[in-house]
Amino acid sequence: MSKIGRKPISCGDVQVQVQSNTVTYKGKKASGTYELPDFVKANVEDKSLILDVPEKLRDRDTNRFWGLHRALLANAIHGADVGFTKQLQINGLGFKAAVAGNKVVFTIGYTHKIDLVLPKDVTLEVDKTGQLLTFRSPDRRMLGEICDKVRSFRPPEPYKGTGIKYTTEVIVRKAGKTKAT
């Protein structure tokens, strides 16, 4: 039996409707539909969504898909209710970001500035120093992709610690060269 798949999904303030293998959800941040495989059945009970697989179909592979679809559906419902947040920090002298509409302009030590157009569902807040970026989105996958793309512009380097990193990330610093005596 799947340990993840059998956990109920808390719906919070999201309206959830189940029709055969289609789960429709609508919250204050987003709405959408999610298609479940044929062997997974969904039921709504007391503000929670329960996914179940018949006993005769349970084996190693169906347990994996059961847990996977439960996690993906839980992320979609959580995003529709509350949303997701990630923070990036820019370290370096003169390194900063500026927002203009749905476009972000990065000045991070290259000879040119880097422009990035944000996807429709992603919002960005930059503090007044231009070095703390807060991304918000109801779609967890899209949020992770855009944050990874921004981080790839200037990954943190281990000697000086400059670059773009997640605020929760720890960069292991290396000692520089020492003078031979």
What confidence tens digit (pLDDT) does each residue in 150-175 have?
A: 999 999 999 998 999 999 999 999 98
Q: Domains of the chain (ranges plus CATH)?
A: 9-81 (3.90.930.12), 84-166 (3.90.930.12)
For helices 140-153 and 60-81, give the axis angle rounded to 10 degrees. 80
What confidence tens digit (pLDDT) does each residue in 87-116 have?
A: 999 999 999 999 988 999 999 999 999 999
